[in-house]
Amino acid sequence: MDPLELETLFKIMETLSSDHNWRVSRPNPCQPGSSWPGIECKISGVENHFHVTRLDFGTPPNPSCKKTSTFPSQIFQLPYLESIFIFQCFIQFPTRISVPPNTPLFNSPLQQLSLRSNPALVGTIPPQISSLKSLQILTLSQNKLSGQIPVQIFSLSSLLHLDLSYNMLTSEISLQVGNLRNLVGLDLSYNKLTGPIPSSIGDLNNLQKLDLSSNSLTGTFPQTLEKLNSLVFLALSNNRLRGNLFPGGVTLTGLKNLEYFLMDDNPMFVSLPVEFGQLKKLQELRLSNSGYSGKIPPTYSGLMNLSTLSLQNNRLSGEIPAGFGNLSHIYHLNLSRNFLEGVVPFNSSFLKRLGRNLDLSGNPGLCLSPSSSSSSSSSVDDDDDGGVYVCGNSKSGSWIKPLKKSEAPLHCICSAALHFCLLLMLLWLFQLCGI
């Protein structure tokens, strides 16, 4: 190995790990038979020497990180490094991502930079990272990074995955994000981002995953997102988005590959969009706690691949679409805390299949047909009825969902005992009087 490269590697190891005295016990990090854990080397270059191409820290069997570890800026000085992974290393002492001065990065072969789950990694994202022209994967998630996302990051045309989730990043998402034309995954969730979703995201034709959940984004759903033909996963939950999702007759035929749409906890306060019925590959649809009103569109019954539907804590009214009973792949259905009414259109086998994953509670107008009730009472567990009453019976005696012994309130037990005692007294009086 080149002496300068070897010295740089020793400095990185001494900055991060105290597992060994690397200079003494492991003087030849790439030597076959005595190579270091967490390191990959390749023979390359004119000199036909070993060169470090990958470093992993923090997870066994890779080198562990010492308590005083700080960010090793020397990683940007390894001329052949292609991948660096640092996981749960910076725990106690605050440290920042830094680039050594006078270090040209535009010729760096670095393709993957992953700094994840480092609660002491603070400060801003250095804009110099945008000089890493070969970078394909940038993961800086679950740290304590703050400030704005450098607009220069959006000039990395080779980037395939960008994950800045679970930090404290602020300000708006730049329109320049639309320059990442090769991007497959974009995750900016769990930050403090504000402003609208930039319409330029609709230019990311290769995008398969978009997660902007748990921010403070405002405005409406950009119509340009309908152009994302490759999108499979879309999460916008826990923001401040509102209004019609698909105004002006927008169709969703472009989102033909979408399988997951998560948009809980937004102040929408509109009717449920009928357009979701066009997304035939949809497996999970979450729209809870968002103020939706009106009826559940019958078109949702055509989502035959649906496994999870969460519409709880809205203002929905009317009946449950009869076709819901034919959703053969569904295993989690939550329609609780709405204003739904009418007979529950589910037979006993449907109730048994979903079991505890069916929640219809908090809809006073809903009731279960006597036939489904009688079948489910003998063949379905006690918790498999969704929390509704039998049609035509009084609520005082028709509750289908018996509480477990450990869950039954004391007053219910006392009340039941009192009724039982009164019944025995009446029977005794009848016998006494010869009735």
Q: What is the pLDDT of residue 17?
A: 85
In this structure, what token pair is assigned to residue 341? Answer: 């009414």
Q: What is the pLDDT of residue 276?
A: 92
**For residues 7 and 13, is the Cβ–Cβ distance under 8 A?**
no
- Give the integer Cα–Cα distance in Å for 330 and 223: 29
Q: What is the pLDDT of residue 305?
A: 97
pLDDT above 50 for 93? yes
27-36, 323-332, 390-399: range with lowest mean pLDDT: 390-399
This prediction's pTM: 0.86
Helix (H) or strand (E) holding 137, with range, is strand 137-139
Q: What is the pLDDT of residue 37?
A: 84
**pLDDT top residue among 333 and 408:** 333
Query: Which amino acid, one-letter code, is at 392?
Result: G
- Give the 3-state secondary structure of residue 269: coil
- Give the 3-state secondary structure of residue 20: coil
pLDDT above 60 for 114? yes
φ, ψ dihedrals at 215, nearest 5°: -130, -155
- Give the integer Cα–Cα distance in Å for 16 and 233: 36
pLDDT tens for each residue of 209-230: 999 999 999 998 888 998 999 9
Q: What is the mean pLDDT of residues 256-285?
A: 95
Q: Is the dihedral of CA 342, 348, 350, 355 positive or negative?
A: positive
Q: What is the pLDDT of residue 174?
A: 97
Mean pLDDT across the chain: 85
Q: What is the mean pLDDT of residues 46-60?
A: 87
- Give the integer Cα–Cα distance in Å for 185 and 7: 36
- Give the integer Cα–Cα distance in Å for 36 and 240: 49
- Give the integer Cα–Cα distance in Å for 92 and 350: 52
Neighbour-count burial for 82-105, b at 16+ CB within 10 Å, e otherwise: bbbbbbebbbeeebbbebeeeeeb
pLDDT above 90 for 340? yes
**For residues 200 and 228, is the Cβ–Cβ distance under 8 A?**
no
- Give the 3-state secondary structure of residue 363: coil
